Structure 1
Amino acid sequence: MPHEQTPAELTFPVEERFDGCTLRDFIGRMGVSAGLVRQVKRAGGFFADGRPLRTCDRVAAGMTVRFALPPEPPTTVAPQDLPLTVAYEDEHAILLDKPAGTAVHPTLNYADGTLANAYMGLLARRGKAGVFRPVNRLDRNTSGLVLCAKNAFAAPLLAESAEKWYLALLEGTPPAEKGLIDAPIGRAPGSIILRCVCSGGKPSRTEYQVVRRCGRYTLVWARTLTGRTHQLRVHFAHIGCPLAGDDLYGGGRGAIARHALHCGCIEFKRPADGQTVRVESPLPPDMAALAKCDGDLKIL
């Protein structure tokens, strides 16, 4: 897939319905965040038809509002020439397909070789500057799609619109073909890593639907309605169906070397025009082998 250039300048034609709005209201309706407005004002300001505009000025139908995106902040993430699968790309967003075993960000234990290093390497090969802005994050051993914003304008819009679905391979059989797990999650006593269902935890809700049963395993689509650490892993263990390979939460490691979880679908609105984009990623070979399928599974 040919890559899309990241714009250095954004333009917004003023339609008749916005005639007479203040610039502040107009660009807010276009999805420009208050934080970005402040950055643009410091970096050079807004213009229409060749003249500068203050945010309190009014716009008129037929104008085209323009502004330069502010320079990218410095980053400490080193570019590395690593394999990287780009599942989708436009001028504001890029969707990366992360393999299991790759950390998203550098950490004390994984200082390099991360998805961030690979992305910065991609930018370096293209002769571009930028920073790594993931909208969703996956555990190191969770595979699948990671949506990233290419600029400060796109980041909040993508974060607001993104919907994610996961494929999870469970040990055992859930109590119903389709269900909602509504159980609060908090830290497990004495651990900074483990989470558990507990009365004092934060509200946590997970939807799931069975895709296929395959011997001792069940493949499900799942979606988190809240964003808790380890939510899917904890919730499925709570109903007696831990993820295959998830020895942290009661799953067995005999058949697969990592917890069997894959971000298989992301849907979001394109920042440029609000059109919905939906991208799916096939089930990776280790999970497909246990599920006895070819990996090409569609959302029901």
Structure 2
Amino acid sequence: MEWIIEKSHDGMLVREYLRTVKRFSRSTLVSVKKDGDILLNEESVTVRACVHQGDCLRIVFAKEERGSHLRPVAKPLTILYEDDELLVVHKPAGLATIPSIHHLEDTLANRVIAYYDKKGIPFTYHVVTRLDVDTSGIVLIAKHRFAHSIMANDQLRGEVNRTYIAFVEGTLKEHQGTIQAPIGRKEGSIIQREVREDGKRAITHYEVLEQYLNFCAVRVKLETGRTHQIRVHFSSIGSPLIGDDLYGGNKTLIQRQALHCSHIQFPHPITRQVMQVKSELPQDIRKMMQHAKGLC
């Protein structure tokens, strides 16, 4: 990456320019110093060099290494948006976001790596937002470690915002509401979570979109991002997600939790332009809705 130094940054140290103006994290800067290069007007310099108006500062990042489980799997990948810095994709239900002991071969990560190889993109997999295996919808991926460091910090500051569509059992008392209840790991389980007094702060905002005979569609926005937060919160108020048998949902209408990440808004890591991407409801959820309307 390279930049032409503007008048307002004349006299800054390279370190100061990269950290404050270009938002390099400390770890990214250390990586560049150790395994990359810093070129000022095509001459290699240290971070203690001064930049002046009109100078060309170029950063050469270290070559990225891929983990042993990131073998390419050439299967379908639905791309919603792409540029040199990031990738936004639609993850189908049933596909893990990253490899794990339970999902080693075909994950979203493996499919992205296969796509990178096909397009000659020399990076590894830097996921910014994740989804449970059986949740469908938008996943945000940084193409390189610099973009990832910026977007990870944006996420910590609450600037990466996702909207979900969930289908929950029964009828909610309030058309709009907030569920505020701490969430922690359920005793005796490494997977399941529950509302508990000693849990971490968790806040879920919702709005009912449509009422069906035995369930309703709700738009959900998270103020916090706890594991299984939407699933746990709606189960805690007696309206588990349809298909979510882990938290008390009925699987008659659909064989997975009826939860879809439908919209994401975030600042672009380089231009800082506010980006918005949408993802349509998948076929299994639309089929469930059509069946429910036929019963009304």
TM-score, structure 1 length as denominator?
A: 0.90
Q: Does 1:27 align with 2:18?
A: yes
1:55 to partner: Cα distance = 1.5
Task: Tell me the equivalent position of 1:63.
Answer: 55
Count of matched residue pairs: 284
- 3-state DSSP class of the match of 1:55? coil
What residue identity is the alignment partner of 1:80? V
CA contact (8 A) 2:204 2:220 kept: yes
Distance 2:242 2:216 in 1: 9
* Counterpart in the other structure of 1:96: 89
Q: CA offset at residue 45 of structure 1?
A: 2.5
Q: For 2:9, which of 15, 18, 34 is the aligned residue?
A: 18
Structure 1 contact 218–291 (Cα < 8 Å) conserved: no
Distance 1:264 1:32 in 2: 30
Equivalent residues of 1:21, 1:59 under 8 A apart: yes
Which whole-Å CA distance do the structure 1 matches of 2:37 and 2:101 have between them?
Answer: 39
| Aligned equivalent of 1:297 | none
The C-alpha deviation readout for 1:270-300, integer Å capped at 9, x for no partner, is: 222111110000011222233349xxxxxxx
Give the aligned partner of residue 137 of structure 1. Answer: 130
Matches within 5 A, 1:77-88: 77-88=70-81
Q: Which residue does the alignment assign to 1:222?
A: 220
SS in 2 for 1:72: coil
State the shift of 1:59 in Å. 1.6
Unmatched segments (≥5 aa) in structure 2: 292-296
Asked if the contact 1:270–1:277 (Cα under 8 Å) also holds between the matched residues in 2, the reply is: yes
Counterpart CA distance in 1 for 2:290 and 2:16 is 54
The answer to whether the aligner puts 1:126 opposite 2:119 as a matched pair is: yes
**Residues 175-207 of structure 1: CA deviation (Å, up to 9, x unaligned):** 212111110001112211111101111111111
8 A Cα contact 1:217 1:291, kept in partner:
no
Counterparts of residues 1-300 of structure 1 (less than 5 Å): 10-28=1-19, 29-76=21-68, 77-159=70-152, 160=154, 161-292=159-290
Greater shift in the superposed pair: 263-272 or 140-149: 263-272
Q: Comparing 45-54 with 85-94, which one deviates more in the overlay? A: 45-54
C-alpha RMSD of the superposition: 1.5
Aligned partner letter, 2:5: V
In structure 2, C-alpha distance between the alignment counterparts of 1:12 and 1:225, rounded to whole Å: 36
Amino acid at match of 1:231: Q
- The one-letter code matched in structure 1 to 2:2 is T
Aligned partner of 2:46: which letter? R
Against the structure 1 CA distance between its residues 137 and 118, is the aligned structure 2 distance closer, same or farther, given a 3 Å change threshold? Answer: same
Residue 54 (structure 1) shift? 2.1
Deviates more, 1:275-284 or 1:36-45: 36-45
Unaligned stretches of 5+ residues in structure 1 = 1-9, 294-300
Q: CA deviation at 1:225?
A: 1.3
Given that 1:135 and 1:158 are in contact with CA atoms closer than 8 Å, whether structure 2 keeps it comes out as yes
Amino acid in the other structure paired with 1:220 = V
Cα contact 1:23–1:59 (8 A) shared by 2: yes
Query: 2:222 corresponds to which letter in structure 1?
Result: T
User: In structure 1, the residue corresponding to 2:219 is in which secondary structure?
Assistant: strand
Percent identical among aligned pairs is 37
Q: Is the 8 A contact 2:36 2:61 kept in 1?
A: no
Deviates most, 216-225 or 50-59: 50-59
- How far has the Cα of 1:63 moved from its partner? 1.6
40-49 or 200-209, which deviates more: 40-49
* In structure 1, distance between residues paired with 2:37 and 2:114: 31
Opposite residue 120 of structure 1, the aligned amino acid is: I
Is 283-292 or 272-281 further displaced after alignment? 283-292
Partner of 1:296: none
